[in-house]
Every structure is written in C-alpha cells, then in structure tokens.
C-alpha cells in the first residue's frame, strides 16, 4: 500500500498552534495487538506547500465537499462544543471513520495519507452547530526532544529529526491509541483501554497521531 510522506522534508521546519483537545476516534483494533508495520516504497511526493485553511460550518448532520489538494496532507479539526449523543465523521477517502465520539467534541486527525484515495467528501452526523477546518503542516505543534508535550483528546504532532524514542503516558477510562507515519513505515504503536505509561522506539522526522477519546496525555520524545 502506498503512502504520501514527502512532507517529511519540510514538516519539521515549522510549528504553529497547540495540539487540539477533546474527544475523538475509537479504534477497533483489539487491545494489545498493534497493526503490522508497513514498509513504504512510494517514490518521493511533492514537498509540503502552504495551502489556505478551509473552514466549513453547519448544524446537525450533513456533508460538505473539500477542494483540498490531493497531493498534500491535511489536518482536520472538528469542533462541536454543544453536541450530545453520537458524533460520527466519515470520508470518501482512505481514512475511514475520522471521529466516533459521544458528547461535546474537539479534536484533530489527518487526511490524504493514501495518495490513491484522496478525500473529496466529508459526511457528518452531529446534533448541534459545528465548525470543521482543514489546515496544512503549519498548523501542527512540534514535540521537541526532552520537552514533555501535554494535551487532551485527539491531536497530531510533528516529531523532529534526531528523536529515536518516545515516552507516552495517558489517563483515560476509554481507548487510547498512538499512530506514527515516518519515511519508512506506518505503524500503530499503542492501542489499549485505560491508563497507560509506555515507551516506544520512533525515529524522527515523523508525524504522531493521538487518538484519545477522553484522554489527558503526555508525550516526551528523546
């Protein structure tokens, strides 16, 4: 399977807003059984470029079409502070099931990591007014070596070159997962229910995605 990863040439050079907070996606992979590492053999992709942020608003369930460039990673943030019941978000791209939450939600995940399945349509099931944004690499925070990065809920962070390991701790009554995309692999590093404190070998530059429905977490690269 092919993945778009050339963003790694520039993605560690910039950082912007703090990690998004809130509730988010619940993974279905069985606890204690991380997904297999997938070697990446895709030819180099276009380097990240500055793309204007897309903003979409609505109320309740619906869908919208995105014009986000197919050759660029996008970072999708959904904010529905007054939602109740289930919050479900899906796309027609490679990333199925962006969000599966209950109640108020704010969180960030990624889009367009599968070059042959770019996102064009986003489908939302919600019960209140919401705002959805898609932003480029400048919107991400860098988790710097030796400095704890703290957050709540779903988030995507940059991991700079030179990092070889991460410590990850979380407090949650629900599921918590940690994904990585790097030049040579895409991997599920952690996936379990409840509090945890783990260490994993991860080489930067890379992107890390935290899926933590109700989690408060700390990630420390070294």
Token reading at 106:
């704010």
Position 185 scores a pLDDT of: 81
In the numeric block, which tokens belong to residue 122?
């986003």
d(C-alpha 59, C-alpha 168), whole Å:
36
CA–CA distance, 121 with 142 (Å, rounded to integer): 29
Give the CB-side neighbour count of residue 182, counting CA atoms within 13 A: 23
Q: What is the pLDDT of residues 134-157, one digit of tens each?
A: 999 999 999 999 999 999 999 999
Residue pair 126/56 in contact by the 8 Å Cβ criterion: no
CA angle 192, 222, 162 (to 5 degrees): 115
pLDDT in tens, 150-179: 999 999 999 999 999 999 999 999 999 999
Task: Please give the Cα distance from 87 to 26 (Å, whole number).
Answer: 11
> What is the model's pLDDT at position 47?
82
Q: Quick check: 195 pLDDT over 90? A: yes
d(CA 40, CA 47): 16
What is the model's pTM?
0.79
Q: Tell me 46's DSSP state.
A: P
Q: Is the pLDDT of residue 15 over 50?
A: no
pLDDT digits (tens, 9 = 90+) for 18-37: 444 343 433 444 444 444 44
**Alpha-carbon gap, residue 220 to 144, rounded angstroms:** 8
Q: For the chain, what is the mean pLDDT?
A: 84
pLDDT (average), residues 55-61: 97
Summarised one tens digit per residue, pLDDT across range 109-136 is 999 988 889 999 999 999 999 999 999 9
> With contact defined as beta carbons under 8 Å apart, do 188 and 182 qualify?
no
Neighbour order of strands in the sheet with 216-221? 149-152, 216-221, 165-171, 196-201
Calpha distance 163→144 (Å, rounded): 8
Cβ 188 vs Cβ 179: under 8 Å:
yes
pLDDT tens string 70-111: 999 999 999 999 999 999 999 999 887 899 899 999 999 999
pLDDT value, residue 142: 96
């Amino acid at each position: 399977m092919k993945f778009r990863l050339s963003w790694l040439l520039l993605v560690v050079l910039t950082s912007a807003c703090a990690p998004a907070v809130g509730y988010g996606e619940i993974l279905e992979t069985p606890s204690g059984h991380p997904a297999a590492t997938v070697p990446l053999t895709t030819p180099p992709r276009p380097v990240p470029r500055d793309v204007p942020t897309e903003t979409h608003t609505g109320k309740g369930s619906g869908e919208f079409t995105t014009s986000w460039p197919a050759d660029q990673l996008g970072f999708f943030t959904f904010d529905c502070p007054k939602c109740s019941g289930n919050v479900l978000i899906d796309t027609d791209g490679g990333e199925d099931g962006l969000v599966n939450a209950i109640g108020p939600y704010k969180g960030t995940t990624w889009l367009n990591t599968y070059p042959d399945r770019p996102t064009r349509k986003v489908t939302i099931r919600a019960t209140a007014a919401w705002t959805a944004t898609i932003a480029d690499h400048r919107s991400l925070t860098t988790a710097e070596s030796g400095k704890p990065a703290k957050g709540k809920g779903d988030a995507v962070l940059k991991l700079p070159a030179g990092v070889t390991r991460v410590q990850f701790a979380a407090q949650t009554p629900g599921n918590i997962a940690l994904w990585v995309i790097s030049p040579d692999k895409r991997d599920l590093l952690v996936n379990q229910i409840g509090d945890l404190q783990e260490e994993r070998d991860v080489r930067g530059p890379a992107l890390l995605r935290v899926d933590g429905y109700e989690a408060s977490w700390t990630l420390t690269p070294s």
